[in-house]
Structure 1
Amino acid sequence: MNNKKTVITYGTYDMLHEGHMNLLKRAKALGDYLIVGVTDENYDRSRGKLNVVESTKKRVKAVEALDFVDKVIVEKHKKQKAQDMVKYDVDIFAIGDDWVGAFDYLNEFTHVEYLPRTEGISSTKLRRENFDLIKMGIVGLGRDTQSFIDEAQFVSNIKINRIYAEDFLALKKFTKDSSIIKYGHDNYDDFLDTSIQAVYIDTALKKHYTFIKKAIEAGKHILCENPIALDKKELKELLSLAKKNKVLLLSALKTAFLPAFNQLLKEIEKGDIGDIREVRATRTSLYREKDYPDSFMEQGATNILSGYPSLLIHKVLGKKKSITFFDQTEKNYDISNLIVTTHKNSAVGLARVATGIKSEGDAVISGTKGYVYIPAPWWLTKEFYFRFEDTHKSYKFSYEFEGCGLRYMIAEFASLIQRGKRTSKMLSPSDMVSISRIILDYNEFKENSKKTKKKEK
């Protein structure tokens, strides 16, 4: 770079403010050429920054607009800093003094300089000032209710202090034992007639439609466990009603919001494994061993679990051309199902779900040049491997996430509400329809089978 002294710094730069610009100017003053690394949204989420409002693209553009910044790059993983020091022949790495000591290891590659920050201003403070608190209520005492409440505490601008449940005694005990939930309701209309702006629904699947419809009509935003409906007409009605009433309706498929899962989709788009011909994903759980009631099991393996493999298959292969079910039933409900879907270019999706059979919960995406392996439990994606015939070309991606993964979904839900958005790029309405098609078609398939058996009798 013509013997110019190169300085590099990194940050999120959400809602670019005076503090950011002061620090960047101090960094530029250390040399002649300033490179700024803007963190990728998946990387931010993987390191616990859940409340970033602006997209990577918007943040990059904001920094690029500063006339004293010479180059902007995107930071995608924690090892990148050391790589960038060598790649750009960096003379000075500059960072805020709230990180003192954290980056001393980079002295091996360059000189590390910790710079003073501007007091009294931060993106966190701006977010609090610019975005109202979202009051949220819980509907039901389901398998994820407590985890949801716990995980929501890590998302700013979300407050949960109400819950609705039909079982008054269970409701009373839950609110008594909870340090967070202060108000319990056993009347849904009364629950909706409060100051809450959003609800999380975790009830029996067959009750989703009724609870969602009433919440939409009450003007509440909804995050609901998958599936949001068990009938095609009901699903179409709910999505249409949500759009009409300008409320957010989002399926609670937490995998869709995990940093590593979204990075996986980005990496696949690069085409390193060639044309994708097959996606295989397994999701099984022996709920009986976890003391789940029979009423839960009777919902069927397909209704309970197929959303996860369907998500991966849909995101990678797109729309389905055909669906074939190979189910095993017990007491009139499926305990296992191998679901085979066909897609464009003769690609095939293989989704195996089971509540009465245990299998390895991994996933494989097979292409003409290589494949991607996601180890169990793949739906809690933390790492994935790109593998090739020439093993020297193989590589691995690893992203840690905090808690049980729910906080990333909650953060996206809150962010959409705050930004006035009614659809998520991570899980759009068309995604939800395609993913739900497996469940809807299977339920239709079961009904038709029952009718056929009756006629035969």
Structure 2
Amino acid sequence: MSDLKWGILGCGVIANEMAQAFEKMGRKVYAVSSRTKAKTEAFAEKYGVEKVYDSYEEMLGDEAVDVVYIATPHSQHYENMKEAIEAGKHILCEKAITVNDHQLNEVLSMAEEKDLIVREAMTISHMPLFKELKSRISQGAIGKVKMVQVNFGSNKGYDSTNRFFALEAAGGALLDIGGYATTFARTFMDEAPNTILTTVQYVETGVDEQSGIILKNESDQMAVICLTIRAKQPKRGVVTGDKGYIEVYEYPRASKATITNTETGLTETIEAGNTEDALVYEVNAMEGAVEGSLSDNNIEISRDVMKILSSVRTQWGMKYPFE
């Protein structure tokens, strides 16, 4: 068991899930802070957190904190991460890790100068199923990968006061759920795309309601991504090769997929990992990276994904007020 001490910024839904993951591992979060004192104290009491801080700055000033888990809204991640790096902390940051590629590149440069680890809490990067599927593809299970199709749609119910629909909070489908779909696509493409095409429909507040994105790389692999926040879609990803295809439902935390061989017609079910342990996998990977026992492409995939998402918004001509 690692002896790294974790601090959490933010006390929302995903922060609660992370604290529960620590409980599942037989551990406690060391420190917590948020902008609301009552919420911070309630969170600490619920999960037995040792140190409670009234501000992010106070918690980051605690020399005992080794790793900071950033669970604030994504519009705040850039500033939160810069402050954490200046305080000498390793970072696991919720998605979207930043709102554009310039922010991410700056943060990663700062972290490299201080020899600090930064990772995105992207479940797709950590679920055992995806490592197994990549292995099966490398063994020729579906032949050469040609096409990826991936959907993500939710129906949040329109509320102009909700941050999901607020341009000033970097709302909209692209950064709220698009990171999952784009990460799925990039995971199964052999290299980053050099062609990105897109179209969009906006909500009344100016954020993106739904969009289509097409990616193509120099290996002639393509991906088609469909995103919506006012119409429910199945979280379905399909990876198609010249000898078969893989289907994954509920892919953000998937533990099961099917592989169909189009030459024989045979279908195989692949199972790996547990959906309920998604955040446990994230913690283990983060600690492995900090302690030197894990080296993977998590942050490189995040860098590619953020570059794609930034290109998409540039084509739309959509900027957030604080950019």
TM-score (norm 2): 0.89
Deviations 1:187-243 (A, max 9, x none): 222111111111100111111011101101111010001122213322111111111
Amino acid paired to 2:118 = L
Q: In the alignment, is the contact (CA less than 8 A) between 2:100 and 2:307 conserved in 1?
A: no
Structure 2 residue 155 is matched with structure 1 residue 282: no
Closer, same or farther: CA 144–292 of 1 in aligned 2, 3 Å: farther
Q: In the alignment, is the contact (CA less than 8 A) between 2:313 and 2:319 conserved in 1?
A: no
Of 223, 234, 240, the residue aligned with 2:103 is: 234
Of 192, 198, 201, the residue aligned with 1:319 is: 192
Structure 2 residue 306 is matched with structure 1 residue 436: yes
Of 292, 306, 313, the residue aligned with 2:178 is: 306
Partner of 1:67: none
Amino acid paired to 2:109 = S
Distance across 2 between alignment mates of 1:438 and 1:426: 16
Q: Following TM superposition, by how much is the alpha carbon of 1:293 offset from its aligned partner in structure 2, in angstroms?
A: 6.6
Of 259, 263, 280, the residue aligned with 2:128 is: 259
Amino acid paired to 1:284 = G
Secondary structure in 2 matching 1:403: helix
Distance across 2 between alignment mates of 1:205 and 1:438: 17
Amino acid paired to 1:281 = V
Distance across 2 between alignment mates of 1:357 and 1:146: 27
Q: How does 1:131-280 map to 2 (within 5 A)?
A: 133-155=3-25, 159-176=28-45, 178-194=46-62, 195-280=64-149
Closer, same or farther: CA 145–263 of 1 in aligned 2, 3 Å: same
Partner of 2:258: 385
Partner of 2:282: 409
Deviations 1:316-343 (A, max 9, x none): 1121111122222102011222111111
Amino acid paired to 1:253 = M
Q: In the alignment, is the contact (CA less than 8 A) between 1:155 and 1:411 conserved in 2?
A: no
Amino acid paired to 1:217 = E
Closer, same or farther: CA 417–345 of 1 in aligned 2, 3 Å: closer
Q: Following TM superposition, by how much is the alpha carbon of 1:275 offset from its aligned partner in structure 2, in angstroms?
A: 2.2
Count of residues paired in the alignment: 313
Structure 2 residue 242 is matched with structure 1 residue 368: yes
Q: Percent identity?
A: 21
Deviations 1:50-77 (A, max 9, x none): xxxxxxxxxxxxxxxxxxxxxxxxxxxx
Of 332, 336, 341, the residue aligned with 2:215 is: 341
Query: With CA pairs under 8 Å and 6+ residues apart, which has the higher RCO, 1 or 2?
Result: 2
Q: CA RMSD in A?
A: 2.4
TM-score (norm 1): 0.64
Closer, same or farther: CA 307–384 of 1 in aligned 2, 3 Å: same
Closer, same or farther: CA 442–186 of 1 in aligned 2, 3 Å: farther
Q: In the alignment, is the contact (CA less than 8 A) between 1:230 and 1:443 conserved in 2?
A: no
Closer, same or farther: CA 450–242 of 1 in aligned 2, 3 Å: closer
Closer, same or farther: CA 409–357 of 1 in aligned 2, 3 Å: same
Secondary structure in 2 matching 1:243: helix
Deviations 1:68-111 (A, max 9, x none): xxxxxxxxxxxxxxxxxxxxxxxxxxxxxxxxxxxxxxxxxxxx
Q: Following TM superposition, by how much is the alpha carbon of 1:292 offset from its aligned partner in structure 2, in angstroms?
A: 11
Q: In the alignment, is the contact (CA less than 8 A) between 1:205 and 1:229 conserved in 2?
A: yes
Distance across 2 between alignment mates of 1:408 and 1:297: 31
Stretch of structure 1 that moved more, 303-312 or 291-300: 291-300
